[in-house]
Amino acid sequence: MAAEFRANSPIRTNHAGPIRFILSHIARHPITAVLLVAGAFSNAFLAGVVPGALGSAFDAVLLMNDRTASLVLNSVLVIVLSQSLRSLLQFLRNFAAEIFAQRFERDIRDELYSSLLGKSMSYHDMQPVGETMARVTNDVREMNFMMNPGVNLITGANMFLIMPALYAPGIHPHLVAVPMFFIVTHILVQIYFILKLHPIASEVRSSFGSMNARLAESLDGLEVVKGAAQEEGEINAFNSLADRVRDRFIQQGEFEARYLSVFLFGITVVAALVHSAALYRSGAIVEGQVIAFLGLINLFQFPVFISLFTSSRIASGYASAVRILNVIKARTQLDQNEAGHSAAIRGAICFENVSFGYADEKILSEISFQALPGQTVAIVGQTGSGKSTLSKLVNRIYDVDDGRVMVDGVDVRDWNLQSLRSQISIIEQDVFLFGRSVAENIAFGHDDLNMKRIIESAKAAQAHEFVSAFPSGYETIIGQRGQTLSGGQRQRLALARAFQTDPRVLILDDSTSAIDSATEDKIQRAIWSAARGRTTLLITHRLSQIRWADHIIVLRNGRVVAQGAHEDLLRSSQSYRRIFDRYAEPDADARSVPGG
């Protein structure tokens, strides 16, 4: 299976199917699994001691002789000691089951998160964030509940299920018939119940994921919702999805209400009473044995009533396992290419007849140009001409459909992905910052927080002044996605982050669009300083930046229509002149060129 990136996770399980996936995770914790089964068996075995002891006490009372008191006392001691031991073992079993379930959840969450990190952007582009979050959080949690109380209780229930069949022959061989009847019919009911419940549980999980996706999307676009006064419409849409979730849960409840094992248990109790009474009348068994046998039959009550709950938990957990496995097994279009080319990048970039599109929509067609090491190349064009898409092909965020993108003469698909990306830094117009401290955001990509290096990068990006003005300075926590900062502040922190990595290739995707004119000249000089000695692809509408580029690429409708130096293009390219005239600023000529 192709994977863009494989996180350093020790979790390797069987993905051949949901059952094998679950069993392979169970096999990772064999000791706790054995303790769970052993505890369940001992619990049921010791519970089966009570009916026999009660039957012996009943016979002793009926005899009313000198040994009655001692026989009754012996029965009481057997019950007290066996149930005390049973309580202790039950505690250890439940303790092991909870540890087992938590480790089970942790492992699945680790494996799923590592898998999501390894998926290509083309995969994530098509996945609603809320749906993904539902699988990472709620579906993984459902698998925890599947193990405990689900598997824990169903294991215990199955042990209670077999105990009457084990103990009954000790009373009379014929008495095994009724327990075996119930065991067989109960298992058939369980198989039918789970098979019918699985698609309903799958609908429950799917409807919850859809509701969660809509909620995440609405919250992410809350400013747009409020700006368009669409709160009422969004509430109605969400309520409709919430109603669907409710209806699926009701459908599941209606099916569970028709649980046949409850009816079977009643039939079994009557059959046991009739059978034991017949044997008693024939003199095959005595009164105490009738009491003991009916007590054993009563052990079926636990698996009957607990299996309704555990079957639902297991069906939901299995449905969640299918959804999680679908994510893990989803093929991506990129691979990490760990055995690929790995070297220090010099910075030569070459596009050879490159074509690329999203799904059926063609974005770039037959793009060809070169950027020499240390050269600054400006990429200009109207909105929607494919400028940003072009920049994402250099570090393999996406792979080309046709042609080649070469770095230092090597096709980027032949590079080791980590080696390639670690030496290329991209600053996009829509800057993403984490909800962490300023220092952590600037140092992202480094394992340590070197404050001297962080401050130097901030100064180079013209960010030190406003960061120092914060009450907590570099320890100030940035709000989610950096929304507590202005656009210019976010972009300057992104520049500082790029300076930290000292990339050999720097891609600036309209990264000064949100910076005011008073700050622009300072940042242009910072960019000019950062661009020295490294290849820079500059996507911008700022003519004061375009002018000092070594080479300019003009895109129109996904094609290169002109390329060359600024003065040459003004003379030879009508498309470039139109762009120049459209974005020309009154003071553009007055701006100084960096270094001038």
- What's 452's domain CATH number? 3.40.50.300
Q: Is the pLDDT of residue 276 over 90?
A: yes
Residues 366 and 475 in one domain: yes
Q: Sort strands 376-381 and 551-556 into parallel, antiparallel or unpaired.
A: parallel
CATH code of residue 233: 1.20.1560.10
Residues 483 and 512 in one domain: yes
- Return the beta strands (E) in 258-375 as ranges: 349-358, 361-371
Residues 402 and 507 in one domain: yes
What is the domain range of residue 362?
349-583
Residues 392 and 320 in one domain: no
Q: Is the pLDDT of residue 71 over 90?
A: no
Q: Of the residues 280, 298, 329, which one is the last residue of a structural domain?
A: 329
Number of domains in the chain: 2
Residue 341 lies in a domain: no
Q: Is the pLDDT of residue 105 over 70?
A: yes
Q: How confident is the model at residue 248 (pLDDT cuts 50, 70, 90)?
A: confident
Query: Residue 221 is which amino acid?
Result: G
d(CA 593, CA 531): 14
Residues 427 and 288 in one domain: no
Give me the mean pLDDT over the 353-367 stretch: 88
Range from 248-257, 515-524, 552-561, 569-578 carrying the lowest mean pLDDT: 515-524
Query: Residue 587 is which amino acid?
Result: D
Q: Is the pLDDT of residue 522 over 80?
A: no
Residue 589 lies in a domain: no
Q: How confident is the model at residue 595 (pLDDT cuts 50, 70, 90)?
A: very low
Residues 260 and 311 in one domain: yes
Higher pLDDT, 301 or 197: 301
The answer to whether 388 and 428 have CB atoms below 8 angstroms apart is yes
d(CA 173, CA 163): 14
The strands making up 424-427's β-sheet, listed across from edge to edge, are 424-427, 505-509, 535-539, 376-381, 551-556, 559-564
φ, ψ at 354 (rounded to 5°)? -80, 130
Q: Is the pLDDT of residue 442 over 80?
A: yes
The answer to whether 161 and 279 have CB atoms below 8 angstroms apart is no
Residue 283 lies in a domain: yes
Residues 303 and 367 in one domain: no
Residues 228 and 373 in one domain: no
Residue 31 lies in a domain: yes
Residues 535 and 484 in one domain: yes
The answer to whether 355 and 391 have CB atoms below 8 angstroms apart is no
Q: How confident is the model at residue 510 (pLDDT cuts 50, 70, 90)?
A: confident
Residue 473 lies in a domain: yes
pLDDT at 518: 61
pLDDT at 594: 41
Residue 154 lies in a domain: yes
- pLDDT tens, residue by residue, 286-314: 999 999 999 999 999 999 888 878 888 88
User: Mean pLDDT over all residues of the chain?
Assistant: 84
Residues 467 and 566 in one domain: yes
Residues 294 and 384 in one domain: no
Torsion of CA 200, 201, 203, 209, to 10 degrees: 170
Residues 398 and 278 in one domain: no
Residue from 572, 587, 576, 590 nearest 378 by CA: 576
- pLDDT tens, residue by residue, 147-171: 988 889 989 988 999 999 999 999 9
CB proximity list for 335: less than 8 A, separation 6 or greater: 2, 3, 4, 417
Q: Is the pLDDT of residue 191 over 90?
A: no
The strands making up 349-358's β-sheet, listed across from edge to edge, are 361-371, 349-358, 402-407, 410-411
CA 411 to chain centre: 32
Residue 220 lies in a domain: yes
Residue 12 lies in a domain: no
pLDDT at 596: 35
Q: Decide: helix, strand or coil at residue 367.
A: strand
The answer to whether 91 and 42 have CB atoms below 8 angstroms apart is no
pLDDT at 426: 84
